[in-house]
Amino acid sequence: MGLDNRGEVRAFLTSRRAKISPGQAGIPTGGSRRVAGLRRGEVAALAGVSVEYYTRLERGNLAGASDSVLDALARALQLDDTETTYLHNLARAAGPGPARARRQSAAQIRPTVRRLLDSMTGIPAFLRTHRFDILAANALGRALYAPMFAAHPNLPVNTMRFTFLDPHAQAFYPEWAKTARAAVGSLRTAAAAHPRDEQLMRLIGELSMRSDAFRTWWAAQDVFVHRHGRKRFRHPAIGELDLAYEGLEVPGDETLTIVTYSAEPGTPSGDGLALLASWAATHADAHAGTSGQT
């Protein structure tokens, strides 16, 4: 089980070629054009390869393509860093690999990583896998994602399933379409980096079957990486929060990422995080009191 590598390569290169106009590529135009974007021959000339060779690549055969050719192709198609890495990952997946995909074992969380999460008392933080399964979260992380953890209190919980399949997600994310589309791009990036991960492929298949939005955006071939940026939330108890996030890869395990959220002190969102901490403490005390009743 895995991605249809040839199909993914063909769709990606075709979609990127269609996005570049001759003017953007510095190619003079005259008369009518039958294709959107660049012609194959124009891309081949810009990349310094033959039309026949580029045609072979665009038909899905990246096996054996050198890094220099891939980089030249990325320049010709004006790919950004994330798209260029995605193209290289597709090429690696096209090369020789195990005939049968192995089921990847569950990620192990080092005690030091757990302590690091728990020590982040002033910011929400959680540990996730490349499949977007949250394996651990600190108190504020659980508090921030209260609607998700209310439905799935036991870890791991998958943020992709929450985003696309949970009825509370669109209210939780004020910019749901923007957030969800970036999530699809992130999952596509992960799939190219781990093309033989059976659990990841099943997740993609499940979301494709159950979510029209996911299926539509998956077909757009966009890629994204959650390294850093901003995300808006509408917390059911706190209200609107506009937070900066950072994705920190765990040294020694490229499949694990610590995600943190923060806000400038004294801003409305900074005050909101302080209120979230109080709410989380009160909520935890109330839960402990209820649990202690006989």
| Within a domain: 253 | yes
DSSP codes, 251-285: TTEEEEEEEEEE--TTSHHHHHHHHHHHHHHHHHH
Over residues 146-155, the mean pLDDT reads 91
Boundary residue ending a domain (94, 119, 139): 94
Same domain, 238 and 285: yes
What is the chain's alpha carbon radius of gyration, rounded to the nearest angstrom? 22
Q: What is the pLDDT of residue 35?
A: 74
Same domain, 195 and 228: yes
Same domain, 200 and 252: yes
Over residues 183-195, the mean pLDDT reads 94
Q: What is the pLDDT of residue 215?
A: 96
Q: Which of 108, 155, 81, 142 is nearest to 250 (CA)?
A: 108
Backbone angles phi, psi at 67, to 5 degrees: -60, -35
CATH number of 26's domain: 1.10.260.40
Number of domains in the chain: 2
Tens-digit pLDDT profile for residues 243-285 = 999 999 998 888 899 999 999 999 999 999 999 999 988 876 5
> Is the confidence at residue 229, as pLDDT, over 60?
yes
Same domain, 56 and 191: no
pTM value surpassing 0.75: yes
| Within a domain: 56 | yes
Q: Are 116 and 250 in contact (CB under 8 A)?
A: no
Q: How confident is the model at residue 96 (pLDDT cuts 50, 70, 90)?
A: low
**Choice among 13-27, 159-173, 199-213, 227-241 with the minimum mean pLDDT:** 13-27
> Is the confidence at residue 32, as pLDDT, over 80?
no
Q: What is the pLDDT of residue 289?
A: 44
**How many CA within 13 A on the CB side of residue 31?**
3
Q: Which domain holds residue 13?
A: 5-94
| Within a domain: 101 | no
CATH number of 169's domain: 3.30.450.180
Same domain, 170 and 288: yes
Cβ of 3: how many Cβ atoms within 10 Å? Answer: 20
Boundary residue ending a domain (65, 94, 123): 94
